[in-house]
Amino acid sequence: MAKKNDIIVVTDPGVDDAIALMYAIFSEEFNIKLLCIAGGNGSIENTTNNALFLMELFKYDVPIAVGLNHPLKREAVFATKAQGKGGLGGYKVNPKKLKTKPIETPACDAMYETLKKSRKKLTIVAIGPMTCVAEMLIKYPDSTKNIKEIIFMGGTKEKIYGRPYREFNISFDPECVDVVIKSGVPLVMVPMELGHFAYLNKNDIKFVKHINKIGKIFAKMFKKYRDFHVGSYGAAVHDVCALYYLTRPENMKMEQGHVELKYYKTEEEEFGYIDTSYDQEPNATICVDMDILKFKYDLFDAFEETGKILNNKK
């Protein structure tokens, strides 16, 4: 077996986060050292409960550290319209049935401790708002020495009707994004549109539903998951693309470009976004396309592995 990727995952589960975590565990190509929970797809209470539920469902033992419920400098506006009231679409988690608890150390400090204890540099994969990453970089500037790279799902290269698009992970806490970009750590940007290229259509969802018990649970989540770009065609799976970059970079197309946080302001709205350009010194690898058929094959393979592995853990 190929050498596994040692990673810290920043997540705000989230239907597409749940799929990404499933892929990370059952592709068997990762050692997840720590889960850092962010507010975003729901309140920090809901996203933490969702993370605990998923790790219990997947029978995966990993420390779960809780971050802030709000961005660095602004009030939280959660994505419940897309992800459902509890964050996992049509699936409701009952907190009273959870058997595990998060660790007491806050996400910012737990991330730093995990990096310092590691014998080698670790990769941070951020599939939710990066508030705790920025917190750590501010509080522990020496942490950059222990980070191999930061891969983040967020932003978009596309413009809608000539104006920037308000992508959620970036606009939820743009100030933290600015800290991360300016940190000097190698960056990989996995923009929003990859999840729209790689969405699961209705036939894919039917296939997943009949794979095993885990597939049935995800099919239930999909019922109330509303990605406004994909709409009724299926379910976008943005976050798993960030992990797929680590396992199958040969199936993705990348470019070297310059990323910078900027703000769009009118009388009606104000939000942060990532501006990408190619006429300045590159500071990031930007994923621009992927082989959709190979991606789905690998994703479905991970779904099928859930049944085999979980049966062995009984």
Active-site residues, by number, are: 238
Return the half-sphere exposure (C-beta side, CA atoms, 13 A cut-off) of residue 306: 30
SS3 sequence of the chain: CCCCEEEEEEECCCHHHHHHHHHHHHCCCEEEEEEEECCCCCCHHHHHHHHHHHHHHHCCCCCEEECCCCCCCCCCCCCHHHHCCCCCCCCCCCHHHCCCCCCCCCHHHHHHHHHHHCCCCEEEEECCCCHHHHHHHHHCHHHHHHEEEEEEECCCCCEECCEECCCHHHHHCHHHHHHHHCCCCCEEEECCHHHHHCCEEHHHHHHHHCCCHHHHHHHHHHCCCCCCCCHHHEECCHHHHHHHHHHCHHHEEEEEEEEEEEEEECCCCEEEEEEEECCCCCCEEEEEEECHHHHHHHHHHHHHHHHHHHHHCC
Instruction: Tell me if 232 sits within 8 A of 205, measured CB to CB.
Output: no
Strand partners of residue 5: 30
Question: Which residues have C-beta within 8 Å of that of residue 265, sequence separation ≥ 6?
Answer: none
Return the half-sphere exposure (C-beta side, CA atoms, 13 A cut-off) of residue 286: 22
Query: For residue 9, what are the CA distances in angstroms to 16, 89, 176, 267?
Result: 14, 21, 16, 37
